[in-house]
Amino acid sequence: MLRRWIFVTVLCASMLCCGCSEQIAESSAIDETSAANEETKTTRDLFAMDTYMCLTAYGENGEAGITAAENCIQDLDARLSTGNASSEIAQLNANGTGTLSEDTCAILQEALTLQRETDGAFNPLMYPIMQAWGFPTQEYRIPDASELQELLLLTDPENMQFSPETGTVSFSVSGMELDLGGIAKGYTSDAVMDCFRSSDVTSGMVSLGGNVQTIGTKPDGSLWRVAIQHPDKEKDFLGVLETKDCAVITSGGYERYFEENGVRYHHIMDPATGRPADSDLLSVTIVSPNGILADGLSTALFVMGLEQATAYWQSHAETFDAVFYTTDETLYVTAGIQDCFSANYPCEIIQEETKP
Ligand code: AMP
Ligand code: MG
């Protein structure tokens, strides 16, 4: 059920990106050019990283670019999956020590940087907590407070020894486990863009479970149109962003959750409590040329809540922009993208802080 729902979201996102959606009317002039675009378009759908993905590339090198990207995705999936017993991460988690490949090291380094910069809202060591709630196996349960207190002792990055030079990792507390799921898709979409670039694809996009990253513009020079899912309304969008050379990555409790006694428990954990983050945000979309940063921040800012997330943006406005949707049904957009975001709902603009 959940998978089907995510698939719908991906399809919608990619259709809009390819400019072929009926939900957004395009002018006839653009339709004419779009037909020319179609001729040089290569697409491929695949399932990896527990997610439906759609790759699109334009031009004569499209097929080569997409094949390179697909190989890269499968390779990263095989290294990073917590659920595949032979992956680097699963081996590390099982043995409490291991040596990571270059890609995995790069992701872990970024994860630890974000952990520090977000005051721990992003934490790549939440896997014991994810397991306690049953997310990896879908055998859901609600752990009690004392169990969570015990498990939180396993999430302190100070207890992980990591050498980026050699790739060696070890845990000094037994039971610690790594989970790069909050950041891996952003790294992967960056990697897809690299594959496109080295195959001389200058126009293309990838949608990984609704997270979108684009290279260049559409072949006719127009911007990509990326629809941002409404967290409460399956068939509706918060708005549409026009963009180029950018990642547009969303985190929301609606993406993965279970319900018990009418309460929804989602998959983004607050590292301070070990419980699903109970902030005033229903979804966070990060827009940045840097996919891995966008992915890490979408998770972290969701945990922070609107006030802290706003302050974080205000002190990092040069690296990303954001769309927030809150529990009181208000849509916020940061000033950097106000001119390229068409909101479907009344929307408040978050301004940069005026320096005293
Ligand atoms: P995302 O959809 O990018 O927000 O990532 C959510 C995934 O990241 C979850 O399914 C977990 O695997 C992992 N995760 C959950 N909570 C956190 C957190 N606070 N920091 C980092 N990763 C997390
Ligand atoms: Mg994320």
295 within ligand 1 shell (Cβ under 6 A)? yes
Q: What is the mean pLDDT of residues 312-331?
A: 98
Paired strand residues for 276: 269
Share of the chain above pLDDT 90, in %: 86
123 within ligand 1 shell (Cβ under 6 A)? yes
pLDDT value at 195 more than 70: yes
Share of the chain above pLDDT 70, in %: 88
Other Cβ atoms within 10 Å of 106 Cβ, number: 16
pLDDT value at 5 more than 90: no
**Structure tokens that stand for 152 in this block:** 């939180």
Protein residues with C-beta less than 5 angstroms from the ion ligand 2:
182, 295, 298-299
Which pLDDT belongs to residue 16?
44
pLDDT value at 166 more than 90: yes
Which pLDDT belongs to residue 355?
65
Which pLDDT belongs to residue 20?
33
**Structure tokens that stand for 139 in this block:** 């055998």
Which pLDDT belongs to residue 294?
98
303 within ligand 1 shell (Cβ under 6 A)? yes
pLDDT (tens digit per residue) in 172-189: 999 999 999 999 999 999
Find the helix or strand (DSSP H, E) in which 257 lies: strand 257-260
User: What region does 96 belong to: left with phi over 0, alpha with psi -120 to 50, or beta?
Assistant: left
Contact call for residues 126 and 269 (beta carbons, < 8 A)? yes
Which range, of 88-97, 172-181, 208-217, 296-305, averages the lowest pLDDT? Answer: 208-217
Which pLDDT belongs to residue 34?
61
184 alpha carbon – ligand 1 mean position (Å): 10
> Ligand 1 pocket check: which of 129, 137, 299 to mutate, most ligand atoms within 8 Å of Cβ?
299
Q: What is the mean pLDDT of the chain?
A: 90
Which pLDDT belongs to residue 37?
64
- The closest-lying atom of ligand 1 relative to the alpha carbon of residue 270 is 19
Residue nearest to atom 15 of ligand 1 (CA): 268
- Residue 350 phi/psi, 5° resolution? -90, 120
pLDDT value at 160 more than 90: yes
Q: What is the mean pLDDT of residues 87-97?
A: 97
Rounded to whole angstroms, how far apart are CA atoms 2 and 5? 5
Which pLDDT belongs to residue 35?
60
pLDDT (tens digit per residue) in 6-44: 333 333 333 344 333 322 222 222 233 466 566 789 999
- Which ligand has the shortest distance to the CA of 123? 1
Which pLDDT belongs to residue 3?
34
pLDDT (tens digit per residue) in 106-154: 999 999 999 999 999 999 999 999 999 999 999 999 999 999 999 999 9
- Residue 241 phi/psi, 5° resolution? -105, 135
Strand-strand pairing, 347-350 and 331-334: parallel
Q: What is the mean pLDDT of residues 333-356?
A: 93
pLDDT (tens digit per residue) in 242-275: 999 999 999 999 989 999 999 999 999 999 999 9
